[in-house]
Amino acid sequence: MGAARPGPRSGHPGPTGDPAPTREPVSASTRAPRPAAEAGSGVAPAPTHPRRLRAEVLLVLGLSVGQSAVYAVVSIISRITAETPLGQQSATLNPSRSPRPLLDLTYQLLGIGFALVPVALALFLLSEPGRSAVRRIGLDRGRPVRDLGAGLGLAALIGIPGLGLYVVGRALGVTVQVHASALNALWWTVPVLILAALQNALLEEVVAVAYLMERLEQLRWSTPALLAASALLRGAYHLYQGIGPFIGNVVMGLLFAEYYRRRRRVMPLVVAHTTLDVVAFVGYALLPDEVLASLGVG
């Protein structure tokens, strides 16, 4: 958006060449009081008008996971209507961007960094004068041991059934073969995969769970609608992997959304999601091909 144009300044010539009239000085006692939010902080208060909130949610989602969901829907339609059966198709989650190692590393880091911009935007929009967005959604480090324990427990609860659902989906031909990484075995491969896992966790849990549920609650959505919106959105942007991952991620979305609704802490969800992706990404890069093939991911 362009900056607002300043009005005519006092003392500058008017249209007729005469000096523009000057205003009488206003004493401090007669000035209108500044709004409390403006006087006490440079951060604007969160919008409260329903129409503005709805527009804000659409913009944030359109810049992040909502955009991914639209592409994933188009992708699954393309896959289903292709001549090759869905079970014989594949998807790569962390592809190489260049055959030149240092250039590939640069592209990987840029991709991770720019993917986190919507997270920063969501936190900025959730912040209010005197109230930190990080503390509001429980992304702070106030309970590290409890958050770590809860996150690892959620990862185990989701990860083992999720792997089983993937294997079943592959056997039924409704899930594509997922290559978790196509990066070359270089000194930076594992650190980049860990950063990619953390980026995925922050983007999905902060935007698709915490931000979305906070805003939809302000719009007075019912609890079932809140949970369904977050879960279906998570499933939608995983549709490019097939029907099995869609179902698995909807179940994961329901569990994570309900956890956040009850606890108001997104950090355990970030820990759980990061753990799941690190195991998938790094394990794929390090495990022998015969082990991967036995799991249907080779």
Which pLDDT tens digits describe the chain residue by residue (298 residues)? 554 444 444 333 444 444 444 444 444 444 444 444 444 444 445 456 899 999 999 999 999 999 999 999 999 999 999 999 999 999 999 999 999 999 999 999 999 999 999 999 999 999 988 889 999 999 999 999 999 999 999 999 999 888 888 888 988 899 998 888 888 889 999 999 999 999 999 999 999 999 999 999 999 999 999 999 999 999 999 999 999 999 999 999 999 999 999 999 999 999 999 999 999 998 877 666 665 566 555 5
Strand partners, 91: 178
Return the beta strands (E) in the chain as ranges.
90-92, 177-179
* Count of helices and strands (H, E) across the chain: 13, 2
Place of tokens 């944030």: 60
pLDDT of the residue at 97: 94
Residues 193 and 112: beta-carbon distance below 8 Å: no
pLDDT of the residue at 2: 52
Residue type for position 117: V
The Cα 20–Cα 94 span in angstroms is 64
- Please report, for residues 2, 197, 278, the alpha-carbon distance to residue 165 in angstroms, rounded to integers and kept in the order given: 50, 21, 19
What are the structure tokens assigned to 281, written together? Answer: 């990404």
pLDDT of the residue at 17: 42
pLDDT of the residue at 33: 45
pLDDT of the residue at 30: 42
Closest CA to 221 of 209, 233, 231, 213: 213
What are the structure tokens assigned to 56, written together? Answer: 């804000």
pLDDT of the residue at 5: 42
- Please report, for residues 62, 149, 264, the alpha-carbon distance to residue 130 in angstroms, rounded to integers and kept in the order given: 28, 30, 18
Check: pTM over 0.75? Answer yes or no. yes
